[in-house]
Amino acid sequence: MKKIAALVLLGVFSQQVFSFSEVQEKGFLRVAVYKNYAPFSYREKGKLKGVEVELGKLLAAKLGVDPLIWAIGADENMEDDLRNTVWKGHYLGGGTADVMLHVPVNKEFAEENDRVIIDNAYFKEEIVAVRHNTLASTPIIKLFGDYKIGVELDTLPDFFLVGAQSGRFRENVIHYMAVELAIKALIAGEVRSVVAPRSQIESALSGARDEYLFSDVTMPRGYQSTWVVGMAVKQGRNELMKKLSTALQEIKESGELSALFKKHSTSYIKPN
């Protein structure tokens, strides 16, 4: 029995050590980021850019290896993304990432997805409503009730506004395929407000951000208007996660992380 227990412990230890030594041996860290997701990861003139693209490069440098940034498409839900990207791989192939960024750091969610380790929170996101400064005196509820509201299709703001107050605002909700398109409509005067994650709104407004007012959106229980994001690695790769944690802490303390958000015209909100 002791011999079996020793072999089990040795197997667990070897798996944890190998999880980082594998990265060292191959000489690169494969980092998964969501594609077409400004300001975090997007293409500009064919080049992959964004907060998390650059964060992935900084993490790899801290680990002493090269970065290999892998832009992935979002599936139907985060559980599918974790399966396809981190712990199993897509049935069409493509392999898995060493670490995936922009994963919700939530105890209940982590327990439900026990094939991965979720940790290393680095940013807090929040849903806000944005309107031009000329409408600053108009209460949010009146704004939603009297004017068109832009939202990205099939997102939390969409579901909330279509059903809020027994559908009071439903006829005013205008759907767009991306937050960037909703912001273009806002600037053009086609809608009077946009409800979306603050980071995406700020990125889309860029230099015009000071012309617009941001307001919190109060949502009923069952809707999550704020959340924290971090990283995910495959279960058993504890040593790799520890190395990433140390690297992230150094990046935070040096001011490099907040500088990345500033570079991409986005407010850096520290996780709680």
Sole residue written with tokens 């994001």 = 229
Percent of the chain scoring above 70 in pLDDT: 93
Q: For position 12, what pLDDT does the model report?
A: 38
Q: Tell me the two tokens of residue 125.
A: 């996101």
Strand, helix or coil for residue 73: coil
Cα-Cα-Cα-Cα dihedral sign, residues 215, 216, 220, 224 = positive
In the chain, the N- to C-terminal Cα span, in Å, equals: 45
Chain centroid to CA 153: 18
DSSP conformation letters of 106-141? -HHHHHH-TTEEEEEEEEEEEEEEEEEGGGTTS-HH
CA geometry: angle 92, 96, 97, nearest 5 deg: 145
Cα-Cα-Cα-Cα dihedral sign, residues 191, 194, 200, 205 = positive
Closest CA relative to residue 244, chosen from 42, 35, 19? 19
Q: Once rounded to an integer, what is the mean pLDDT over residues 162-167?
A: 92
**Type and span of the H or E element at 148:** none
Higher pLDDT, 149 or 76: 149
**Type and span of the H or E element at 236:** none
Q: For position 93, what pLDDT does the model report?
A: 85
Average pLDDT, the chain: 91
Higher pLDDT, 75 or 118: 118
CA geometry: angle 71, 77, 80, nearest 5 deg: 70
Domains of the chain: 21-124+226-264 (3.40.190.10), 126-216 (3.40.190.10)
Q: Tell me the two tokens of residue 188.
A: 């053009």
Quote the strand ranges of the chain, DSSP E. Answer: 28-34, 42-44, 47-49, 66-72, 99-104, 116-132, 149-152, 173-176, 193-197, 212-216, 226-234
With a CB cutoff of 8 Å and minimum separation 6, the contacts of 43 are 35, 36, 49, 71
pLDDT digits (tens, 9 = 90+) for 33-72: 999 999 999 999 999 999 999 999 999 999 999 999 999 9
The model's pTM is: 0.89
> For residue 146, what are the CA distances in angstroms to 198, 249, 266?
23, 46, 29
Q: For position 248, what pLDDT does the model report?
A: 98
pLDDT digits (tens, 9 = 90+) for 191-245: 999 999 999 999 999 889 999 999 999 888 778 899 999 999 999 999 999 999 9
Assign 19 a pLDDT band (cuts: 50, 70, 90). low
Q: For position 14, what pLDDT does the model report?
A: 35
Percent of the chain scoring above 90 in pLDDT: 83
